[in-house]
A and B are shown apart, each in its own frame.
Chain A
Amino acid sequence: MVTETRAIDAPHRGLVQTFVRFREIGLIAFIVVLAFFVTLRNPVFLTFNNLRDIVLNISILVIVALAQAMVIITRGIDLSVGSTIGLSAMMVSFMIAAMPELSPWLMLPLGMLIGAILGSFNGTLIALGRVPPIIATLGTLSIYRGLIFLYSGTKSTINAYEMPPAFRQIAKGAPLGIPNLILFAVAVAVIVFLFLRYTRVGRDIYTVGSNPDAARFAGIPLQRTLFLVYLISGLLCGLAGVLWASRFESAQNNTALGFELQTVAAAVVGGVSTLGGSGRVIGVVLGAFLLGVINNALTLIQISPFWQQAAQGLLILLAVIVDATISGRLQRMIGGRS
């Protein structure tokens, strides 16, 4: 909240805070209304099992959408997330298939390391090479996806029978009664929340996004912050890749193909402004949850799955239109920045 109010005079804070809260309240209200109508059509929706399925389905999306959100807050975009997830999933699956005796938990740091290296390559291009983020990550989207094909060669899939059963437990196990996959998502959300709110680098991310020039004058290491953001994005994608391979018990050449669009959608629907400088963890989580609810609802009310993508696109459009009209009106009301 601090971030959104930074540029606006103190007397207006109450109003702006209401708006920022409204943003998430609006999302929750939308989800509740949607849930209400879906339940009318099919009572299965509100059962415990179905809700758990929704949360399971969006867990990986939450992790990567949070990474994407951090990048978008700095006015950037990371189009390479899908390819990074795919490469991490493929390399980790190769390792676990070649050495089934290894502890599968070792795969987590390995995947994160692979992701971090790929992310830091993006970061170097963008921070040091001054390549616009959309160009750099558009390039690495192709490069990393191509590397997956190069890597897997004649063996384009690692199947479930080639993976030790213990590897599956990374995502599917539930020693605490809750599936690990959900715990991972919650843990990442909490860590990102604390990171963005209470650490200096976290605050710098917002400052760099709301005004890069001012950030430089204020002595914030602009390049280092940008580099770190892309590194973190890659790291989280690497984690997501391991979880993906473990959950679906396979890795293919086209794992997570096109996933970048969903992550941007979740972040934008969740209120992360593409103009940079604003966005909150809770919003992104709700944005991902809304996408999950919609996909689930379309199945439950037996609308053809072929409509899912159209519905998702329409939702993104609605979210940005509502956001623009409301925030525009609000800014005129308080006479803030235009």
Chain B
Amino acid sequence: MSTKRLHNFWTKWRWECLLVLLIVVVAFVNARASNYFLNSTNLLRMTSDFIEIGILILPMTFIIVTGNIDLSIASTLALSASLMGYLFMSGWNIWLAAGVALLVSICAGLLNGVLIARLKLPALVVTLGTLSFYRGLAYALLGDQAARGYPPEFTYLGQGTIGSTRIPFALLIFIVLALAFGLVLHKTRFGRYLYAIGNNKDASRYAGVPVDRILITIYVLSSVVAALAGFILAARFGSTRPDIGLGLELSVITITVLGGVSIFGGSGTLVGVVLALILVAILRFGMGLMNLQGQVQDIVIGMLLIVSILLPTLIERFRHTWHWQPRMLWQSLAALLVLVLFISFFFWSRSLILFR
């Protein structure tokens, strides 16, 4: 009985268990490699670098669970933050400016949602278009200027700590939001509808799931949350430039997929996604302590993403339908040779300039 329960637990939470294991390993390695890792001040300060991404992955999980995608979140974030900054610079009250920016973000989400749900356009193409469009509007608003001079009650959103503790206020926002999103996804009918849509959109429609309305709702939700993340980011920097949050969508999608959400929809848990966030955060923090450049860190994150998808598939195939053919030996040898030659050329040609 107990082994059966254990087995059920394992099949249901396999991915999350693996993530926890990885987190423990990375934390252990980091702690051994640097004395500055297990330091509560550092760790808490580090969290603020991942708050915005953390907030953005919550609605992204909803969207990917339905089998869709939203590439425009970082641009919506920039549009809202820029509009807020623009209005503030023209003399508006900061909260009023933020309110208007929030309304605009709702419109941005509506446009995405209506085009995808009602006109049945592919989410990838629609949000690719709005990625350019919203980011372009942000540039049109602020140009090469930066909005700055936000009042302290606003910058508290991104820089403040709770009471006399060192816990960032934004971390509290993230935790509250994560709990709310988790409860909605796993404990409500709305959440179950999301999985249903992701598994089979047409069948859900016939079963009476209001597919269009739900899709529009989650795209609006995504944009509103992006606006909120934009405010926090602007508050943290103390200024807004139109390139704020550029390229953030890729990190967000990477973490969501790493968290076990299938890109085809229908599966994944919010627990897994939050664990993936923690994993990426401490991995990057550790690499930062080792003085690795941000873009070089991207290599590791990119590999992690690919391996996390590749490995389960390969294991499945090894188990079931694997016929060894001599052809494969030659192919793998050729691939290995190409790889080795490429790596040698990479380092050799690099040394020609760097160490002459």
Q: How large is the interface on A (under 10, 10 to 19, 20 to 34, 35 or more residues)?
A: 35 or more
Q: Which of B91-110 contact A (CB under 8 A)?
A: none
CB distance from B84 to the nearest CB of A (A): 18
With contacts A117-B338, A131-B313, A146-B295 known, is A309 near B136, CB below 8 A? yes
**Residues in B lying within 8 Å of A, measured CB to CB:** 69, 115, 119-122, 124-126, 128-137, 139-140, 143-144, 242, 247, 250, 253-254, 257, 263-264, 293, 295-299, 301-303, 305-306, 309-310, 313-314, 317, 335, 338, 342, 346, 349-350, 352-354, 356
Which of B124, B140, B247 touches A274 (beta carbons < 8 Å)?
A: B124
Residues of B within 8 A of A275 (CB): 122
**SS class of chain A's interface: helix, strand, loop or mixed?**
helix
Residue of B nearest to A315 (CB): B129
In the bound complex, do residue A313 and residue B130 qualify as a contact, i.e. CB atoms below 8 Å apart? yes
Question: For residue A87, which residue of chain B has the nearest CB?
Answer: B346
Contact pick for A309, options B139, B297, B299, CB 8 Å: B139
With A264-B128, A265-B128 already in contact, the answer to whether A94 and B352 are too (CB < 8 A) is yes
Q: Contact between A316 and B132 (Cβ–Cβ < 8 Å)? A: yes
Main secondary structure of the interface of B (DSSP, over half): helix
Which residues of B sit under 8 angstroms from A141, Cβ to Cβ? 250, 302
Bound: A153/B350 CA distance, A: 9
Select one of B122, B136, B305 contacting A307, CB under 8 A.
B136
Given contacts A130-B313, A316-B129, 20 further A-B contacts (CB under 8 A): A91-B346, A95-B352, A99-B352, A117-B338, A129-B313, A129-B314, A131-B309, A135-B309, A141-B302, A142-B254, A253-B295, A309-B139, A310-B132, A310-B133, A313-B129, A316-B132, A320-B126, A321-B115, A321-B119, A324-B119
What 3 pairs between A and B have smallest CB-CB spacing? Answer: A310-B136, A313-B133, A313-B132
Contact partner of B125 among A124, A139, A268, A309, CB < 8 A? A268
Do A316 and B136 touch (CB < 8 A)? no
For the complex, is A160 an interface residue (Cβ under 8 Å from B)? no
Count of inter-chain pairs, beta carbons less than 8 A: 172
A31 contacts partner chain B, Cβ-Cβ < 8 Å: no
- Assess whether B305 is in contact with A316, with CB atoms less than 8 Å apart: no
Which of chain B's residues have a CB closer than 8 A to the CB of A138?
250, 253-254, 302, 305
The answer for the CA separation of A114 and B350 in the assembled complex, in Å, is 14
A77-B124, A94-B349, A306-B139 known; A129+B310 contact, CB < 8 A: yes
Chain B residues with CB under 8 A of A253: 295
In the complex, which of the residues A97, A258, A321 contacts B353, with contact meaning CB atoms closer than 8 Å?
A97
Check B133 against A125 for contact (C-beta < 8 Å): no
Select which of A114, A151, A313 is within 8 A of B134 by beta carbon. Answer: A313
Docked Cα-Cα span, A131 to B130, in Å, equals 26
- Of chain A, the residue at the smallest CB distance from B79 is A310
